[in-house]
Amino acid sequence: MSDCKRAQEISKCLQLAIMLEVSAEKPGNVSFASSFAGTRVEHFLASAVAAGSAFQEAAYRGIAASKGRLEVSEVGLGKLVKVCVSDIAAWQRGGNTILGTVMLFVPIAAAAGMTASLKSGQLDLAALRRNIDAVVKSTTAWDAVRLYEAVDIACPSGLGGAPDLDVKDPNSKKRLLEENVNLFEVFKIAQGYDDICFEWVNDYPITFDLAYPYLAEQLKSKPLNMAVVHTFLKILSQRPDTFISRKVGKSKAVEISADANEILELGGLGTEEGKKRLSELDVKLRQKGNSCNPGTTADLTASALSVLTLSGYRP
């Protein structure tokens, strides 16, 4: 397979993962059945399409790094995230849709390009994880600046108040370069209150140790929508959503995690009581004046789906 074709295949896997994630009817999130004011499922689908070229470039650079044509530090994760976010903004008018997912997927794309396939044709997931770790640890101060610029483009809610190098502080970009703070170090600062950053600096444990194994097991006996929703609930039950924590407080996020755990214990979408409680949670998360979108959990669910599609899953 040519390098270009391999990079295209990796990109398609990641685009598919985004589409599968948004297609599942997860509580408090956009799906074909639900929307937010100004943000609907078509905005997410357009985002998945628009992200493809940046994912492909990330994969191609990963391939180049694996063949010695590029240093790993030259992959340029920050610029790739910025380009991806710019492309997404140009192709839909629903605001910030998948910034967190892009931040997780660009390192995955680059690492997938660096990773050989097994004899079965599936990606070597242990090697993929090692390569993700290598590529995020090789980031530069310019990667950090470009990612801050990507955040400026996406304008996500729920940011601000960081103990240092706050993304909303106009002086932060200058300091990143002057103090030579790379993106990995920035995410170390933020890992305590943002699970996207936590994934980056801890070898993607939520994706590989919790979400993907659970998703793969669910798919052995359950249809895709049920498996994805249950995976979403599993993540949420064990990891209080950090977007909710920043927006309305940690106690509310912990309460919602307890709700997710109760739904799973009731059988989730496999029982009438589970379905009822899931519907009640969805209403609770969408209450006016106290809207709680588990957006980080959705990003982590997409990350698990990306590992699934890279492993060869096709719907």
For 228-284, what is each residue's pLDDT tens digit?
999 999 999 999 999 999 988 999 999 999 999 999 999 999 999 999 999 999 999
Supply angle C-alpha 180, 185, 188, rounded to 5: 160
Q: What percent of the chain has pLDDT over 90?
A: 87
Fold of the 3-310 domain: Triphosphoribosyl-dephospho-CoA protein (1.10.4200)
Q: Is the pLDDT of residue 17 over 80?
A: yes
Instruction: Return the higher-pLDDT residue of 243 and 155.
Output: 243
CA distance 315 to 313: 7
Most confident of 63-72, 121-130, 290-299: 63-72
Q: Is the pLDDT of residue 160 over 80?
A: no
Q: Are 233 and 294 in contact (CB under 8 A)?
A: no
Q: What is the pTM of this model?
A: 0.96
Spacing of C-alpha 190 from chain mean position: 16
Q: Is the pLDDT of residue 292 over 90?
A: no
pLDDT at 119: 66
pLDDT tens digits, residue range 93-137? Answer: 999 999 999 999 999 999 999 998 866 677 899 999 999 999 999
Q: What percent of the chain has pLDDT over 70?
A: 96
The H or E element spanning position 126 is helix 125-137
Q: Rounded mean pLDDT of the chain?
A: 94
Angstrom CA distances, 133 to 13, 205, 270, stand at: 20, 11, 37
Q: What does the DSSP assignment read for 193-248?
A: T-HHHHHHHTTSHIIIIIIHHHHHHHTTTS-HHHHHHHHHHHHHHHS--HHHHHHH
Q: Is the pLDDT of residue 288 over 70?
A: no
pLDDT at 289: 58
Q: What is the mean pLDDT of residues 197-207?
A: 97
pLDDT at 51: 98
CA distance 102 to 5: 21
